[in-house]
Amino acid sequence: MPVRAVADLRAHQAGGPARPGREPGGLAAGLDDAYAELCATVDLALVRGLQGRRHGADFLARPPDGPRQTWEDDLAALRATPLSQVRREVTRCLRLNPACSKRVVTALTSPNVIDLVAEVLDACWRRLLAPHWPSLSEVYDGDLEFRRDELRRVGWPGVVAGLHPEVRPTDRGIRIASIPGKARLPLHAAGLVLVPSVFVRPGLTVLAADDGPVGLLYPARPHATRRTGDPLAELIGRSRARLLTALATPGTTTALARELDAGIGVVGDHLGVLRRSGLVERTRQGREVVYRRTALGDALAGGA
């Protein structure tokens, strides 16, 4: 769910430069460098004007609709936001960010504000986070699989209590001690979407939508994908291990995404990593591109 990355970016910008240990695999330094370069070419002040440490425009990062949601889906949802809603949220954010320059205020109150913000976020996604998405999704998928296991073991109250020290289940929702005005979040029929993040540690962020579920952005478990008990998953990551195993039968990106119940974009990213590593190869059959394991991929999957 790439919407997590947009929410992660909100946390990254609101919190300043990344601190060592917050992101996996030395990602912090790479993001800070890329962020500095992006500041020189993209008007990030438009997004900064819509967020802060304790607030943010909800239309920037709605809770995801499901695991197959792509960045293109996120961008389409953003562009489909009613202008009246955007104007209400912009007004609230500008009131809370009185230091915004006249240029930023003019842009954010213009009729084409949605297109302006969408272009900035698209650049942020493609240049900051898309190159790292396979690694990030490994952490996120590992965390969510752990939560599913916990749901079977300790039930819903135990899962909620284990998300963060400040989160507690209530009879009709959840209680968050650190979020002013949202200490008690009632859960309606749409439910609660768990959104792990590697950037929000040690805090929390609430993602809200008037017509959908509440999303809770919480710190992902450190190295969640490494404690699997599966040697292949420990070597190449849980998601890529599942993909390599599924390729016992050759398949297209679409077929593999359907089989694994994963987003096409995420599966495509993982296939790219496996192909560059010499574990899979691709051939064109008519209009389709079919992936299959190489001899090295067969040996690795067969020995796991």
User: pLDDT tens, 61-74?
Assistant: 777 776 667 888 88
Higher per-residue pLDDT: 81 or 222: 81
* 12: pLDDT strictly greater than 60: no
Which residue has better confidence, 20 or 288?
288
List the single range of 15-19, 40-44, 178-182, 243-247 with lowest mean pLDDT: 15-19
Contacts of 47 (CB under 8 A, 6+ apart): 9, 10, 13, 60, 117, 120, 121, 124
For the record, the structure tokens of 87 come out as 């104007």
Q: What is the pLDDT of residue 103?
A: 93
pLDDT, position 105? 93
More confident residue, 141 or 253: 253
**What pLDDT, on the 0 to 100 scale, is given for residue 186?**
62
Rounded Cα–Cα distance for residues 3 and 121 (Å): 11
Q: What is the 3-state secondary structure (H, E, C) of the chain?
A: CCHHHHHHHHHHHHHCCCCCCCCHHHHHHHHHHHHHHHHCCCCCHHHHCCECCCCECHHHCCCCCCCCCCHHHHHHHHHCCCHHHHHHHHHHHHHHCCCCCHHHHHHHCCCCHHHHHHHHHHHHHHHHHHHHHHHHHHHHHHHHHHHHHHHHHHHHHHHHHCCCCCEEECCCEEEECCCCCCCEEECCCCCEEEEEECCCCCCCEEECCCCCCEEEEEECCCCHHHCCCCHHHHHHCHHHHHHHHHCCCCECHHHHHHHHCCCHHHHHHHHHHHHHCCCEEEEEECCEEEEEECHHHHHHHHCC
Pairwise pLDDT comparison (19 vs 119), residue with the higher score: 119
Is residue 160 within 8 A of residue 174, CB to CB? The reply is yes
pLDDT range class, residue 181, cuts 50, 70, 90 = low
pTM of the model: 0.67
The stretch 193-205 carries a mean pLDDT of 79
**Separation of alpha carbons 245 and 240, rounded Å:** 8
Report pLDDT digits (tens) over 223-235.
544 444 567 877 7
pLDDT, position 300: 87
* 77-101: pLDDT as tens digits: 899 999 999 999 999 999 988 878 9
Mode of pairing for the β-strands spanning 184-186 and 167-169: unpaired
CB 184 within 8 A of CB 175: yes
Question: Which among 60, 69, 16, 97 has a CA at the least distance from the CA of 206?
Answer: 60
Of the ranges 40-49, 177-186, 232-241, which one carries the lowest mean pLDDT score?
Answer: 177-186
Average model confidence (pLDDT) across the chain: 79
Domains and CATH numbers, the chain: 3-132 (no CATH), 134-219 (no CATH), 228-302 (1.10.10.10)
pLDDT tens-place string over residues 233-275? 777 877 888 899 999 999 999 999 888 877 788 888 889 989 9
